[in-house]
Structure 1
Amino acid sequence: MRELVYYIASTLDGHIAGPDGADPTGPDGFWPVPGDYLEHLATEYPETLPGPARQALGITAEGTRFDTVIGGRKTYQIGLDAGVTDAYPHLRHLVFSRTLTESPDPAVELVTGDPIAKVRELKQQDGKDIWLIGGGELAGALYPEIDRLVIKLAPLTIGTGIPLFGRSATFDPRNWRLTDHTVLDSGAAFLTYARPSTG
């Protein structure tokens, strides 16, 4: 069965963006992207780079991890604000929204119903794993369905911002098992955690 993987960048103090939710790596962002970090993404997770970045870097690798990306309305808006209606044309792209009435791009699927029901449906389909790109609110709603965490941990603190699982996540402690880790010279760490089997 396919797994839902929350593959997300986080600060040391557990935030995925600043208080305004804007792109922290954008032109006005506070989150530096070192060369070794970008190289690791291109080598290990090429499908997670947006289409324009893949084109600029000459990346054509399909990737072996994900064939589907899901995200929330606010995360999708970051691309729209940059004039990009489908940041991941090389992946099946679903956006969860209660406010959008139609998709700005024919290739982007709009989901207005229950996120958990939709993810359970996706897990039953054939294919590679499903990448949960964010944001925190959707990650909080899908918390029970997340099978794996891949945290791109930046050597950075920001004090406050949008937490890993949003501001309205329910209290539900769970332990995770570290299955892989890579620490880059720039100080960033890629940490992979699996949800322990309950069976």
Structure 2
Amino acid sequence: MRTLVYCVALTLDGFIAGPDGSDPTGPGGFWSPEQDYLQHLIEEYPETLPGPARAALGVTAEGTRFDTVLEGRRSYEVGLAAGVANAYPHLRHLVFSRTLTESPDPGVELVADDPVATVRELKQLDGKDIWLVGGAELAGALYGEIDRLVVKLSPLTIGSGIPLFGRSAAFAPDLWTLSDHTVLRSGAAFLTYDRRRNAPQSAGD
């Protein structure tokens, strides 16, 4: 079965964006990644690079991890405001929104249904894994469905902003196992965590 992977950049103090929700690595953003960070993305996660970045960097690799990307309305509108109606034309691109009524791009599917039900259906389909790009509100709604976290940890703090699972996520402690890690010379790190599923207890427990 396919897995849902929340692959997202995160500051040392736990934020995926500043208070205004803008792209941390976009024009005027607070983080300009070093070359080794970009090179690691190109080599390991080429499908997570937006189409314009792929074109600028000469990236043509299809990638082996994801064929579907999920995005919330606020996250999607950050790209839309920058003139990018479909940042991931090389993937099946689903945007969850109950307010958008017409897709700005034929390659973007608008989904007004329950995110949890939709993800459970997607997991049953054949294909590569499903990438949750953000934003935090959608991640919070899908908290229980996320199977893997890929944290692209940036070596900076910002003090306040939008946390990993949003400001209204329910309190639900869970354990994760560190399954892979790469620490770059620039100080950035790629940390992969898999959710620990509770093992069934025996009758004698």
> Shared fold by TM > 0.5?
yes
Per-residue CA deviation, residues 97-123 of structure 1 (Å, 9 max, x unaligned), is 121011111110000110000000000
Q: Counterparts in 2 of 1:58-97, with a 5 A limit?
A: 58-97=58-97
Question: What's the secondary structure of 1:59's corresponding residue?
Answer: coil
Identity fraction in percent: 75
Partner of 1:101: 101
Unaligned stretches of 5+ in structure 2?
200-205
Partner of 2:186: 186
How many residues were matched structurally?
A: 199
Partner of 2:154: 154
Taking structure 1 as the reference length, the TM-score comes to: 0.99
Question: What's the secondary structure of 2:190's corresponding residue?
Answer: strand
- Report deviation, 1:198: 2.6
Partner of 1:6: 6
CA distance in 1, matches of 2:165, 2:197: 21
Partner of 2:115: 115
Give 2:38's aligned amino acid: L
Partner of 1:177: 177
- Report deviation, 1:74: 0.7
Partner of 1:37: 37
Give 2:124's aligned amino acid: Q
Per-residue CA deviation, residues 73-102 of structure 1 (Å, 9 max, x unaligned), is 011011111111110000000000121011
Per-residue CA deviation, residues 12-68 of structure 1 (Å, 9 max, x unaligned), is 010000000011111111112110000000000000000011111111100000000
Give 1:167's aligned amino acid: R
CA distance in 2, matches of 1:43, 1:175: 29
CA distance in 2, matches of 1:138, 1:99: 14
Question: What's the secondary structure of 1:120's corresponding residue?
Answer: helix
CA RMSD of aligned residues (A): 0.6
Give 1:150's aligned amino acid: V
CA distance in 2, matches of 1:98, 1:31: 31
CA distance in 1, matches of 2:187, 2:32: 11
CA distance in 2, matches of 1:56, 1:62: 16
CA distance in 1, matches of 2:3, 2:118: 13
Give 1:168's aligned amino acid: S
Give 1:65's aligned amino acid: R
Question: What's the secondary structure of 1:133's corresponding residue?
Answer: strand
